[in-house]
Amino acid sequence: MNTITIFGRKFTWLEVIIHLGAWIPLLLISIKFFNGGLTVNPIQDIEQRTGRLAILWLVLSLSCTPLGNIFGWKEMIKRRRTIGLYAFIMAFIHVSIFIALDFGFAIDLIIAEILEKRFILLGALAFNGLTLLAVTSFKYWQKKLKKNWKRLHRTIYVIAPIVVIHYGLAKKGNLLSLQGDIIRPVIYAVIVTLLLVMRIRPVRQWLKNFWDRLTTKVANWRKSQSPA
């Protein structure tokens, strides 16, 4: 595996891409926020941008297992925890903006908003789930919870659709009449559905066989093309 050494620690290229991919957008958003480079409502703007980053990292974390187990990109399985933690960090920043900047820590107003707006209630539900998964992502909890650890971490299959609904409702979209800014939430809904369907054993097995046959054919064809 190709690695580079930074401050005496070895990183693979994928790790470098993951860390840069997480911090650079946050840095750019902060620069824009302090330089007045956002919309006329900068708080709403960073709330939305960090929400979109959170859902993106969540979907990336869901894609690690299929990419590793079906398509043979094993390193993605090793990086699953880091990517999942970044999803939590982005969601944490998104929620902190809501609590601190949007509502100025007015707890009674925040509770009223959560109870009044369904999409915020769903966001809060998903965030509680993500927090539990992030806290228990350490080896200590994996050992302590044994079989239940896997069961607990499978709740991501419920959390991800809840986040997609939170997104769709936040955009005040209507899927039936295709009203509102519904395209991106729909794209996420399709991707999350595909990623969940890929985990069903017969589907996974079929895809894996198909991929193995395809890569073998390509390898054989390459061999036949190379000079003896």
- Enumerate the β-bridge partners of residue 32: none
- Provide CB contacts within 8 A for 171, sequence distance 6+: 180, 181, 182, 184, 185
One character per residue 78-107, x = contact with ligand HEM (rule: CB under 6 A): -------------x--xx--x---------
**By CB under 6 A, is residue 76 in contact with ligand HEM?**
no
3-state secondary structure of 45: helix
The yes or no reply on residue 44 touching ligand HEM (CB under 6 A) is yes
Beta strands of the chain (E only): which ranges? 3-6, 9-12
51 binding ligand HEM? (CB under 6 A): yes
Please report whether residue 15 would count as binding ligand HEM according to CB under 6 A: no
Rounded to the nearest 5 degrees, what angle is found at the Cα of 223, between the Cα atoms of 220 and 228?
A: 150
Mention every residue, 6+ apart, whose C-beta is less than 8 A from residue 40: none
Over the window 54 to 73, marking each residue x when it contacts ligand HEM by CB under 6 A and - when it does not, the resulting string is: xx--x---------------
Q: What is the CA radius of gyration of the chain?
A: 21
**Contact status: 52 vs ligand HEM (CB under 6 A):** yes
Q: How far is the CB of 125 from ligand HEM (least distance, A)?
A: 8
Q: Which residues bind ligand HEM (CB under 6 A)?
A: 44, 47-48, 51-52, 54-55, 58, 91, 94-95, 98, 120, 123-124, 126-127, 130, 163, 166-167, 170-171
